[in-house]
Amino acid sequence: MTSDESIRPFRIDVASADLDDLHERLRRTRFAPPLPGDDWDTGVPVAYLRELVGYWRNGYDWRAQEAVLNSHAQFTTVIDGQPIHFLHVRSAEPDAMPLVLTHGWPGSFVEFLDVIGPLTDPVSHGGDAADAFHLVIPSLPGFGFSGPVTEAGWDTARIARAWAELMRRVGYTRYGVQGGDIGAGVSPAVARVDPGAVVGVHVNGSLGAPLHGPGDDEKATLTDLELDRVARVEVFMTEEFGYIAIQSTRPQTLAAGLTDSPVGQLAWIMDKFREWTHPRAAAPDTVIDRDRLLTNVMIYWLTATAGSAAYVGYAQESAWGAVETPSGVPTGAIMFAHDIGIRRYAETGHTITRWTDVEDRGGHFAAMEEPGLLTQDVRAFFRGLRHVPS
């Protein structure tokens, strides 16, 4: 831990020259010839990409989005030698519970913009003041304004220790954690390293995903919903695992292209937003606001962190899939229609006290796709934990 524990205010202020450079790069884009069919089976269709790039260049307003981001209090601090960027949005409610929200890949803190208001100010969003939260929303090491990384070893446990230290620095001794994707791995890890302070863990997405597949005898005991999730994991491992293989073995090589080509960066991220949003057949910008999607891409582009985000997210992939001993901290999960978590498997490494399956709505990016349902589940889960002694 660094001896400098100072917390410094942070404001995003992108140089106009960087925006001009982006505009020129977009103008000079050399698009690949379309492959037969030009559909999503081979990646982002060229026709779709051309149209989206045209909007990025001529319709998207970074300064307006920058103002939205800067409307929330942001800070930086150095933990374990790594600069950490975070939002700290305090509720006006005096009894609000502190809550850490952790994003995943290819996301960023931008994922959570639509839940900040409902979680910090529930009364203004049709809720109860008793459900208010103070929010701490860090950028993962190596991602965006927490990047790049200069050291190896930023696995879930190390990130969890950093989050526990971050909460100590901002003055919270009792708090909850929530996250999806990488955040669904980091959040339970925070409870393991700081069980005396973490009152509850809430996740969405992949908790309890059967990554190695059950045998036939075990499959015979599964429900139809569980069998569907097993089948989708099997399809993922055969048809979609390529990006993990690349990012976990050659992140620096990949970064050479993504940090030099904004359209390359856009396509790499949009491919996953199309695959992981619900319904899958829909274009991602019909599920999530187009400007919000581009703002997320901009965080990667402007900070040149494609490589370090890939490195932290997947270069140490064994850490993400390891079976852990339950922390004993109450854990809740919500699985949306695209998600693959199965309770019986999650219970081997977590103390599950609430499990919600949503079979017909929502995908991997819950806070962006279904902020209302996610907020509702987070409120309900933590409602019984707010005044329980640690």
Q: Does 181 participate in catalysis according to the annotation?
A: yes
Q: Which residues pair with 135 in a beta bridge?
A: 89, 99
Tell me the C-alpha distance between 71 and 47, whole Å. Answer: 35
Q: Does 364 participate in catalysis according to the annotation?
A: yes
Catalytic residue among 48, 314, 350, 377: 314
Catalytic residue among 131, 181, 285, 377: 181
Q: What is the dihedral of CA 22, 24, 30, 36, to 10 degrees?
A: 60
> What secondary structure does DSSP assign to 249-312, as a single string?
H-HHHHHHHHTT-HHHHHHHHHHHHHHHSSSTTS-HHHHS-HHHHHHHHHHHHHHT-HHHHHHH
Tell me the C-alpha distance between 184 and 179, whole Å. Answer: 5
Tell me the C-alpha distance between 138 and 26, whole Å. Answer: 30
Q: Does 314 participate in catalysis according to the annotation?
A: yes
Torsion 267-53-20-106 (CA) sign: negative
Q: What stretch of H or E contains 330?
A: strand 330-335
Catalytic residue among 85, 175, 364, 377: 364
Residue 193 near residue 161, CB atoms below 8 Å: yes
Q: Give the active site residues.
A: 181, 314, 364
